[in-house]
Structure 1
């Protein structure tokens, strides 16, 4: 059976003007049976369209803050570093991926991006916007493989279908988060302080995003391994049709 080719959105170092990649993203996909390929960072719509048509699925990685312009708010001083080129590329690619009904897996920034692109809003800085439970650590220190707080998994979502449990421990390294959930998304996991930690797009074959970092915990956490395995399986042409039926069944 041919292994699915998965496009991985590049990370960008502004100071060095260079693309880079966390090997854990790539290794998790490879170990799960996929072929990860880091994409170029481009705003050329013809190139992005070709990428969308070529790859079997897409991993939207973490990194820069999402530009508040995408959710029609002014940038506050507490907002972190932006990357306009990433925002432009990923917005156009995400639209193409949805149209083609190809799998999309978002991690951290990916979760925030999906929500912003679909009409939701974000907290530009959780510590200053919310009086959250101090026991829920959203900005842990290394090692990032350590699991620091729990999330409740909502039933009748593809996340619950994958993990087969109602609660897991996750790592956490983010200062932004979902404020108003897009009406095109469903909350699939909620932290103890009420923050949305995972979203799914109902009616799609596989559009799933998590706020935590399964790439960091992949080597030590079975649930992280299950997430990548499910994503890669969704990207496999041989399994794509059966997965779409699974999604219809659990959301019916």
Structure 2
């Protein structure tokens, strides 16, 4: 079978005015059988449309906070660094990917992006705005291969089909999270404090996002490996249906 080409959304360093990439994203995709390629950072609609048509799947990476104006809020002092160009590009690309029903996998910021673009909102800063969260460590210190808290997996959905578990332990490094869930998404994993940790978009082949960082833990955690395997497999052919036996082999 031809290896699927996976477009990986670029990271941006404003101090160096440079695009960059964590090798863990690339290695996790390559290890799952895909060919990862970092995309350009652009708001050119013609280029974005070409990218959406040419690549087989798309990984929406972590990084900057989303501009709160996208969910009709003012920017609070506790909000982190923004990258307006990333917001614009990823919003346009995500809509194209959805229209084409191509696989989209979101990690951390990727989950937040899916929710915001589809009409949801975020806690701009969990420690100050989500006061329920005093027992769950959402922003751990290195090494990020350590798994620090549990998430409960809902049954009868894409995520549960992939991991085949009701509860898994995950790593965690974020200060924002879903406040109001988009009505176009379904929450499929919840932290012990009630924060949404994973979402899917129903009636699409593969639109899945997680708040944790499987790119850091895939070398030591079978569930992280399964996520990348399912994503790459879904990108391998049109109409692919997840073969759980292949994922768990």
Where on the TM-score scale, by shorter chain, does this alignment land: which range? Answer: over 0.9
Deviation at 1:245, TM superposition (A): 11
Residue equivalent to 2:229: 229
SS in 2 for 1:241: coil
Report the RMSD for the aligned CA atoms in angstroms.
Answer: 1.2
Q: In the aligned structure 1, how far is the partner of 2:201 from the partner of 2:213?
A: 19
- In structure 1, stretches of 5+ residues that fail to align are 247-252
Q: 1:245 to 1:27 in 2, by over 3 A?
A: closer
Alignment of 1:1-252 (within 5 A): 1-237=1-237, 240-243=238-241
Deviation at 1:72, TM superposition (A): 1.3
Residue equivalent to 1:250: none
Q: Check conservation: 2:126, 2:133, Cα contact below 8 A.
A: no
Q: Check conservation: 1:205, 1:244, Cα contact below 8 A.
A: no
Task: Provide, for residues 165-209 of structure 1, a one-character-per-residue CA deviation record: whole Å limited to 9, x for no partner.
Answer: 100000000000000000000001000000000000001110000
Q: In the aligned structure 1, how far is the partner of 2:66 from the partner of 2:210?
A: 15
- Runs of 4+ aligned structure 1 residues displaced above 3 Å come to none
Q: In the aligned structure 2, how far is the partner of 1:245 from the partner of 1:229?
A: 10
Task: Provide, for residues 20-75 of structure 1, a one-character-per-residue CA deviation record: whole Å limited to 9, x for no partner.
Answer: 00000000000000000000000000000000000000000000001111111111
Q: In the aligned structure 1, how far is the partner of 2:89 from the partner of 2:177?
A: 21
Q: In the aligned structure 2, how far is the partner of 1:231 from the partner of 1:244?
A: 9
Task: Provide, for residues 122-179 of structure 1, a one-character-per-residue CA deviation record: whole Å limited to 9, x for no partner.
Answer: 0000000021343310000000110000000011110001001100000000000000
Deviation at 1:242, TM superposition (A): 3.5
SS in 1 for 2:173: coil
For structure 1, which segment, 132-141 or 15-24, has the greater mean C-alpha deviation from structure 2 after superposition?
A: 132-141
Q: 1:245 to 1:99 in 2, by over 3 A?
A: farther
Q: Check conservation: 2:127, 2:133, Cα contact below 8 A.
A: no
SS in 1 for 2:241: helix
Aligned residues: 244
Residue equivalent to 2:247: none
Q: Check conservation: 2:233, 2:242, Cα contact below 8 A.
A: no
Q: 1:245 to 1:224 in 2, by over 3 A?
A: closer
TM-score by length of 1: 0.95
